[in-house]
Amino acid sequence: MFNGLFEEWAFQNWPTERLSYERRAGFAPIGATGAMIVGTLIDGDGASSWYGHAPRGGRNGHRDGAGTGCLKGTHMSEVVSYNVDSDGLCALVLDLPDSKMNVLGATLSNALESTLRRAMTDEAVKGVVITSGKDSFVAGGDLKMLSGGIDVAAMPSEDAIHMFSSFSRLLRWLETAGKPVACAINGLALGGGLEIALACHYRVVADDPKIALGLPEVQVGLLPGGGGTQRLPRLIGLAASLPLLMQGRQISPAKALDLGVVHAVVPREELMKVAKRWLRECGDPVQPWDRKDFKVPGGDDTLTPEFRTMFIGTNATTRAAAFGNMPAPEKIASALYEGLQLPMDKALQVEAKYFVQLMIDPVARSLIRTMFVNKGKADGLFARPKNI
């Protein structure tokens, strides 16, 4: 989720002392110094060019408009468009400039936060639809930027967790801000892209078997740090969520509907129509897990013998497969076991704790460097002499 260039940038502009001070002063920077690189094997062209300084926290947790970490020459309105129709329904269209796909970095994350805050405080807006202006929705994070960087182990744990959980805090704020949010998934939704969708109150996806939805972070030694380990099992149950979280399995729209990950699958041209119809006719701004009578699907109590037995089997399988050399599946299992016994806000803190532990471990960075960065160079014949 974090990365080499971004870590260096964040460290230079947000030293530990400032992070602690800003938090004590009541400032809560969300998008810029947060868990935004969310483990996908997609090459995010154009998303690794950074410009400006880290945004400072403004009053009441808002950031000042100037100095945001955007691509040079890029304005927020060029990244996420903002349109309100006659019914008071606001369409936020994600369209990262100079990139084949929407990838989560400071540019897209900051723009998303800015437009969401605008929509939530705009009295004319009754509901929000998030969609994409590209063929894909959001392909996760830019893994090119996750090699090297600051020594997370040297940071106080409180500051590291605060830094790496900012994207998670943004999504938690989105689902509790008081206005219904629908997500019209028009293409690939991996990693942080699916986590954005899971934080929305309604999800509709285009009927296209080529579309993949998933949380593949485990494949590069990480865990979903934007709430994925906590929202997915609360949505579809622990057993159904394990293959997606522990193996990084990707699913089609039809399978997502069958599992309950999305509410509807419709033709691509009807996505916005269906999403807006839900906002007009239903528009419930409360997530199931924020209701007092909520229980995790598939069991009456997370402390039942069946629940514990499932984790015993999961731990045994994980240990047998990797002999303790792959910490990500074990940390995901721990985040699930602890988090599902807690309210959502506490559960997200548990997820952030284990995400930071994986960032401290060298396995994730080594996997990304070997399986993504270096493999990409090899596939592109990076070391091949010219004119041969």
Q: Which residues are catalytic?
A: 195, 217
Helices and strands in the chain, H and E counts: 16, 9
3-state secondary structure of 134: coil
How is residue 189 written in tokens? 């939704």
CA dist 61 and 30 (Å) reads 8
* Inter-axis angle of helices 166-176 and 344-360, nearest 10: 160
| CB 47, CB 99: distance < 8 Å | yes
* Structure tokens given for 375: 């493999």
The H-or-E segment that residue 20 falls in is helix 16-24
Closest C-alpha among 271, 279, 276, 242 to residue 259: 242
Which of 173, 172, 193, 171 minimizes the C-alpha distance to 184? Answer: 193
> Helix crossing, 327-339 with 344-360: angle to 10°?
160
- Cα 165 off chain centre by: 10
**319-322 contact pairs (CB < 8 A, 24+):** none
Q: Which residues contact 51 (CB under 8 A, 6 or more apart)?
A: 69, 70, 71, 72, 73, 74
How far apart, in whole angstroms, are the C-alpha atoms of residue 209 and residue 79? Answer: 27
Neighbour-count burial for 345-383, b at 16+ CB within 10 Å, e otherwise: eebbbbbbbbbbbbbbbeebbebbbeebbeeeeeeeeee
Are 69 and 9 contacting, i.e. CB atoms less than 8 angstroms apart? yes
